Chain A
Amino acid sequence: MMKKPPRIKLPETINPGAIIEIKTLATHVMETGNRKDGSGRVIPRDIIHTFTARFEGEDVFSAELNSGVAANPYIAFYMRVTGPGTLTLTWQDDGGTTTVEKVPIVTS
């Protein structure tokens, strides 16, 4: 479960045909499942295991994450802008929560 919505950063101006960098920062503990609590019990794993980016229904980029990804996962990737549309970003975690952000891509 994310305590706060993810932060997403795109370039201020986007030209059609450009390859842009999309920076994302999720708020998540990324509990590894290897730690123990004060009484010696294993703290269950709770990580974002899948991140996907789709533009108008087409896959742009995706990531399978494991416990070696740092807390509050930062992922920056690239996209070839084919025109205006909606970029849909999703984060899925072990607790069954799916966080979806829809980002309008406006070309100039």
Chain B
Amino acid sequence: MAKMLDRRTFLLTGTAATAIASFIGEAAGEDAAGESAEFKHVLEAILNGATPTETGLVLDLPEHVENGDYVPVALEVDSPMTSEDHVKAIHLLSTANPRAKVATFHFTLLSGKARVTSRMRLAHTQDVVAVAELSGGRLLVTRRKVDVRIGGCDI
């Protein structure tokens, strides 16, 4: 459906954009909170029954983006990155893209710093979720909403 509208039509009315966004949402099998079933499965698999801490992981994303094709993202945990206390991995998830997993970043003691920056795709306005796995098994989670003016319809 989204593909049948040309760019001009798409840009003309916010109503059309909203309609498309809701259509894509339904197609991805979202619930009322806008989270896809796949996202929930992926998050559950990562958490594996553990309760994550909701502080300590910084997920830096713009609040609003014009274009969902290139969304700058930075992830960071303030960690000493020693053998006793380090970040093993950070998972980056989208709650409502066609695929929930965006990327998993693996760190080592040689990383020195648990920070990574990249660029992601967002099909439409949604929450982005990150989960960090620390040495010792502790998990950190954080969530940020990004308002996407023009979604990557073809994601």
A59's partner among B99, B110, B117 (CB-CB below 8 A) is B110
On whether the beta carbons of A63 and B103 are closer than 8 Å, the reply is yes
Number of interface residues, chain A, beta carbon within 8 A: 29
On whether the beta carbons of A70 and B108 are closer than 8 Å, the reply is no
- Chain B CB count within 10 A is highest, among A35, A70, A71, A79, for A70
CB distance from A14 to the nearest CB of B (A): 12
A77 to B118 CA separation, bound complex (whole angstroms): 9
Number of interface residues, chain B, beta carbon within 8 A: 33
A74 to B103 CA separation, bound complex (whole angstroms): 12
Q: Which residues of B contact A19 (CB under 8 A)?
A: 112-113
Q: Which residues of B contact A69 (CB under 8 A)?
A: 102-103, 118-121
Q: Does B98 contact A (CB under 8 A)?
A: yes
Q: Does B97 contact A (CB under 8 A)?
A: yes
Q: Does A15 contact B (CB under 8 A)?
A: no
Q: Does A82 contact B (CB under 8 A)?
A: yes
Q: Does A34 contact B (CB under 8 A)?
A: yes
Q: Which residue of A lies closest to B102 (CB)?
A: A68
Q: Does B70 contact A (CB under 8 A)?
A: yes
Q: Which residues of A contact B94 (CB under 8 A)?
A: 68
A14 to B155 CA separation, bound complex (whole angstroms): 39
Q: Does A64 contact B (CB under 8 A)?
A: yes
CB distance from A28 to the nearest CB of B (A): 12
